[in-house]
């Protein structure tokens, strides 16, 4: 019996590892070899996977391929994951929204002959950078794990949803590269740590979307010497007190659970200001109500200018992705998605947000179950 389970996993892993056949990796290798100027990009408001996968891949390109490679992002790297970007990369990570010289970024994109698009399925996810990438005539390669990618704009794609993260997909691709030859200890140190970080945040520290190939990756990276304890301490043990106090307030005073098992919390600007909440500091809040037995879906709304940012998490059998698409102008993964709720368009006024969630999840969960 035990043997069967091991064999089954071994087969699945093998299947997953075979992301693309050998000729695709050879082709990718050829494309990288002939490229002179490479630009990597990820989705706006980048998360741990976006930064982990891109920094991990960029260091392969610069350290082992001696390429001119830079990362261009619409928004800054959030504070909680900035530890994976080495100081020496300050000139190689270009942030559009905070750039003094936006033209420099436009010129970089224009003059690149190869563009890697990581951790998103549609160029619109690059926000203000989208027109520049659309106009670029460079070869564009997608490496991503979101469902339903818009493949029409990419010349090549490594798109797969049966992996934990883009960081994991990059890891398997790199392992197949000749310089690495399936030996994780040959990965640049920064790449190894960045990839493990990206995978850790996208799986919520091994709680969601963990595949046999995900554990293979973790195992290989630990064996290669990556300091996982150090990464976990940086990710999860250095929050500001305000964040934890806001979480307590929300769970005590703001959490609503509907009859259908949808839990929601709304953070308005006043509350966020009162607790002096910074960008990215409410990350992870949406997962917490899912721990309640009767809750099958959790929604977090955070007020922005003229709209609410929406995060949705769901338990197995309920599609957060579908709910985000139908009611919240968004999308994402099966059990983790996001979107926007526009004030004056979707709802008349801010105070109607709770009613909107109640009604829409009532409809959604009645049809879904
Ligand atoms: Mn991701």
Q: Where are the beta strands (DSSP E) in the chain?
A: 37-42, 68-73, 93-95, 114-118, 139-144, 156-159, 256-257, 262-267, 297-303, 307-314, 331-332, 336-342
Ligand 1 mean position, distance from CA 195 (Å): 11
Q: What is the pLDDT of residues 217-251, one digit of tens each?
A: 999 999 999 999 999 999 999 999 999 999 999 99
Higher-confidence position of 12 and 280: 280
Q: What is the pLDDT of residues 64-87, one digit of tens each?
A: 999 999 999 999 999 999 999 999
CA–CA distance from 223 to each of 123, 161, 196 (Å)?
36, 26, 12
In angstroms, the CA 264 to CA 311 distance is 10
Ligand 1 mean position, distance from CA 327 (Å): 22
Q: What is the pLDDT of residues 300-347, one digit of tens each?
A: 999 999 999 999 999 999 999 999 999 999 999 999 999 999 999 999
Q: Average pLDDT, whole number, for the chain?
A: 93
Ligand 1 mean position, distance from CA 359 (Å): 30
CB atoms near residue 360 (< 10 Å): 18
Domains and CATH numbers, the chain: 2-235 (3.90.1640.10), 242-368 (3.10.310.30)
16 pLDDT higher than 90: no
Task: Find all residues with CB under 8 Å of 7, minimum gap 6, and list them.
Answer: none
Q: What is the pLDDT of residues 31-41, one digit of tens each?
A: 999 999 999 99
Residue 20: pLDDT band (50, 70, 90) is: low
Task: Find all residues with CB under 8 Å of 143, minimum gap 6, and list them.
Answer: 53, 57, 116, 117, 118, 119, 157, 158, 159, 166, 169, 170, 173
In angstroms, the CA 147 to CA 162 distance is 10
Q: Which of 16-25, 75-84, 264-273, 350-359 has the lowest mean pLDDT?
A: 16-25
Ligand 1 mean position, distance from CA 329 (Å): 19
Mean pLDDT, rounded, for 119-125: 95
Ligand 1 mean position, distance from CA 198 (Å): 8
Instruction: Output Rg (C-alpha) for the chain, integer angstroms.
Output: 21
297: tokens are 């879906």
Question: What pTM was estimated for this model as a whole?
Answer: 0.90
Residue 142: pLDDT band (50, 70, 90) is: very high
Ligand 1 mean position, distance from CA 164 (Å): 8
Ligand 1 mean position, distance from CA 42 (Å): 10
73: tokens are 């992002």
CB-proximal residues (5 Å) to ion ligand 1 = 49, 119, 165-166, 202
CA angle 218, 219, 221 (to 5 degrees): 65
180 pLDDT higher than 90: yes
301 has which bridge partners? Answer: 266, 310
Ligand 1 mean position, distance from CA 203 (Å): 9
């Amino acid at each position: 019996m035990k043997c069967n389970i091991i064999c089954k996993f071994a087969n699945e892993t093998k299947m997953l590892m075979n992301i693309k056949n050998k000729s695709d990796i050879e082709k990718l290798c050829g494309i990288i070899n002939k490229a002179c100027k490479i630009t990597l990009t990820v989705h706006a408001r980048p998360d741990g996977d976006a930064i982990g996968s891109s920094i991990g891949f960029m260091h392969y390109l610069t350290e082992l391929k001696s390429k001119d490679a830079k990362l261009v992002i619409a928004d800054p790297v959030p504070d909680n994951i900035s530890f994976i970007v080495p100081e020496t990369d300050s000139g190689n990570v270009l942030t559009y929204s905070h750039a003094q010289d936006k033209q420099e970024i436009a010129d970089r994109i224009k003059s690149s002959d190869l563009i890697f698009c990581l951790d998103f399925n549609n160029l619109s996810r690059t926000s203000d950078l989208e027109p520049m990438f659309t106009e670029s005539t460079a070869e564009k390669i997608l490496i991503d794990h979101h469902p339903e990618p818009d493949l029409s704009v990419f010349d090549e794609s490594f798109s797969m949803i049966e992996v934990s993260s883009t960081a994991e997909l990059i890891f398997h691709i790199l392992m197949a590269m000749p310089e690495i030859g399936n030996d994780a200890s040959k990965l640049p140190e920064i790449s190894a740590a960045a990839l493990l970080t990206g995978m850790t945040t996208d799986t919520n520290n091994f709680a969601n979307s963990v595949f046999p190939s995900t554990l293979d990756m973790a195992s290989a990276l630990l064996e290669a010497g990556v300091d996982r304890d150090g990464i976990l301490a940086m990710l999860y043990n250095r929050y500001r007190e305000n964040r934890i106090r806001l979480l307590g307030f929300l769970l005590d005073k703001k959490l609503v659970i509907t009859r259908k098992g949808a839990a929601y919390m709304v953070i308005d600007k006043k509350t966020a200001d009162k607790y002096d909440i910074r960008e990215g500091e409410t990350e992870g809040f949406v997962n917490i109500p899912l721990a309640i037995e009767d809750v099958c879906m959790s929604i977090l709304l955070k007020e922005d200018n003229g709209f609410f940012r929406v995060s949705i998490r769901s338990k197995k059998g309920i599609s957060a992705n579908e709910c985000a698409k139908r009611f919240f102008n968004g999308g994402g993964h099966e059990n983790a998605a996001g979107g926007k709720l526009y004030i004056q368009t979707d709802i008349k006024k801010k105070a109607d947000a709770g009613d909107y969630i109640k009604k829409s999840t009532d409809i959604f969960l009645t049809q879904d179950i």
